[in-house]
């Protein structure tokens, strides 16, 4: 197999896709990273916005449940869908009217998530103990437990910043990873152009 054929095979698949669209990926990643920084700098505003967004989604879900209630084949199904529609409406309107209460609820969910995820990762790491990377898994689980403990100790004041801050960190990490992938795609695109120029020379 020739060097040109090998290069062509290496540039096929996902690598070729990233090489062709690295500019768009880098722009989108940069925008997401900037949004993450803004969310980190203003965690309370971000958390309130997320709480209101969740409320709006619940209201939309209530409307869909109401539509399904009219199309239900039985009275029991219609009553269930109607009850869910009322529940979604009350929860959604409550979140929109007072998003701070929504932050409290979301923070409780975050504490539960980090607690359960941390316990599972510690247990998984201990089961993988003969493996080389078991310590990293345990460390990740312990970190999750520490975050859960910090959020719980500072509750309810942590509700004012925890949701927005963690959302911002997640956006920043996603944006940076997209930029790094785009930079790798740019390098592959340059190599492909160099190889094409060498073949045509």
Q: Which residues contact 86 (CB under 8 A, 6 or more apart)?
A: 62
Q: Where are the domains of the chain?
A: 15-190
DSSP string, the chain: --HHHHHHHHTSTHHHHHHHSHHHHHHHHHHHHHHHHHHHHSHHHHHHHHHHHHHHHHHHHHHHHHHHHHT-SSHHHHHHHHHHHHHHHHHHHHHHH-HHHHHHHHHHHHHHHHHHHHHHHHHHHHHTTTSTTHHHHHHHHHHHHHHHHHHHHTTTGGGGTHHHHHHHHHHHHHHHHHHHHHHHHHHHHHHHHHHHHHHH-
Q: What share of the chain has pLDDT > 70, as a percent?
A: 84
The pLDDT value given to residue 37: 93
CB 104 within 8 A of CB 91: no
Blockwise average pLDDT, block size 10, the chain, 201 residues: 44 53 82 91 90 89 83 76 86 86 84 87 80 74 86 84 86 82 74 71 63
144 φ, ψ to 5°? -60, -40
For residue 180, the model assigns a pLDDT of 80
Let me know: does 112 contact 106? Beta carbons within 8 Å: no
Q: Cβ atoms within 10 A of the Cβ of 201, count? A: 5
Ramachandran category for residue 66: left, alpha or beta (phi over 0 → left; psi -120 to 50 → alpha):
alpha
> What's this model's pTM, rounded to 2 decimal places?
0.66
Position 5 scores a pLDDT of 44
Task: Give the model's pLDDT for residue 132.
Answer: 59
CB proximity list for 15: less than 8 A, separation 6 or greater:
185, 188
Nearest by Cα to 145 from 117, 175, 181? 117
């Amino acid at each position: 197999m020739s060097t040109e054929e090998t290069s062509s095979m290496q540039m096929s698949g996902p690598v070729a896709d990233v090489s062709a669209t690295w500019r768009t990926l880098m722009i989108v990643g940069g925008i997401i990273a900037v949004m993450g920084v803004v969310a980190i700098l203003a965690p309370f505003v971000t958390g309130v916005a997320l709480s209101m967004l969740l409320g709006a989604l619940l209201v939309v879900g209530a409307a869909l449940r109401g539509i399904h209630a009219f199309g239900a084949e039985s009275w029991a199904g219609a009553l269930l869908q109607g009850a869910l529609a009322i529940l979604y409406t009350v929860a959604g309107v409550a979140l929109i009217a007072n998003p701070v209460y929504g932050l409290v609820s979301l923070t409780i969910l975050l504490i539960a998530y980090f607690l359960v995820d941390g316990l599972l990762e510690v247990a998984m790491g201990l089961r993988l103990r003969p493996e080389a990377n078991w310590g990293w898994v345990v460390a990740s689980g312990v970190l999750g437990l520490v975050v859960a403990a910090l959020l719980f100790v500072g509750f309810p004041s942590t509700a004012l910043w925890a949701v927005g801050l963690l959302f911002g960190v997640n956006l920043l990490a996603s944006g940076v990873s997209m930029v790094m992938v785009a930079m790798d795609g740019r390098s592959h695109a340059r190599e492909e152009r160099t190889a094409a120029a060498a073949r045509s020379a």
